[in-house]
Amino acid sequence: MPRRPRVVSTVPALRRAVGNLRRGGATVALVPTMGALHDGHISLVRLARRRARRVVVSIFVNPTQFAPNEDFASYPRNLKQDLAALAEAGADLVWAPGVKVMYPDGFATRLAPEGPAKAGLEDAFRPHFFGGVATVVAKLLIQCTPDVAVFGEKDYQQFKVISRLATDLDLPVKIVGAPIVREKSGLAMSSRNAYLTEAQRGVAATLHRVLKDSARRIAGKENIARVLDEGAAEIESVGFTLDYLEARHADSLAKVETIKDGPLRLLVAGRLGSTRLIDNIAV
């Protein structure tokens, strides 16, 4: 039976544990998560193991990235199952702080990211989100002092915000993006998929199907605006309330008009019932 990783929940214990992991010059990778781990998260841990000798996984449901009307209280949590999955994946250490450890009384410093955080995508619908993400990720990187940190590309705008954050703050860490892991239907794996009914899961796969078809057509030099209008109509026709379906520059997330405007990424977000889903694909 795999050995469960050690769990620490205070900053002094974390720093001692990371110091022990670094003995003999071992490199350390960090995989930040909010728990409720699925195969997508485990793929991040496996990638981290290829990039460093030791792997730290953080589990923290960050309240500052949830708006009052969002699902912080109901967000799935199951530390026992998470630890069993991380043992199988070979994680060495789990950093599982409480809210009072991350945001103690008197906490008064928050980051206000710009650049890719102001691209008019997720930020247009969740204006609170990237400030909360940037603040907690900066804390995690400072607390864990990893050589490498691995983030899934499903949250593509978030990945770009964090990459920019590490560069701008001169943090000595390499930010690595991991490919999206999908269910057999093509639906991107997400902890929020647990909210979907079986019927909704089948409908939700429309997002990936439309993204693939749109990317193929845009790569074939069809008009981007027309392709996206038709894709949006198809997504809405199956029951989604669409927030956006956009083609953006893959690095800056700037708006584009033609395929000549640089490497492109298609990004989509919408609600199916009460569940909000996002996805993206390279062109």
Q: Which residues have CB under 8 Å from 215's CB, separation 6+? A: 266, 281, 282, 283
Please list, in sequence order, all residues whose beta carbon lies within 8 angstroms of the beta carbon of residue 233, skipping any fewer than 6 positions away: none
- Determine the length of the chain: 283
Residue bearing tokens 């250490």: 93
Please report, as a single letter, which amino acid is at residue 143: Q
Say what angle helices 79-89 and 39-51 make with each other, to 10 degrees. Answer: 40
* Burial of residue 100, with CB atoms counted within 10 A of its CB: 0-12 exposed, 13-18 middle, 19 or more buried: exposed
Sign of CA dihedral 199, 201, 202, 204: positive
Catalytic residues: 41
Residue 8 neighbours by CB under 8 Å, 6+ apart: 14, 17, 93, 94, 95, 96
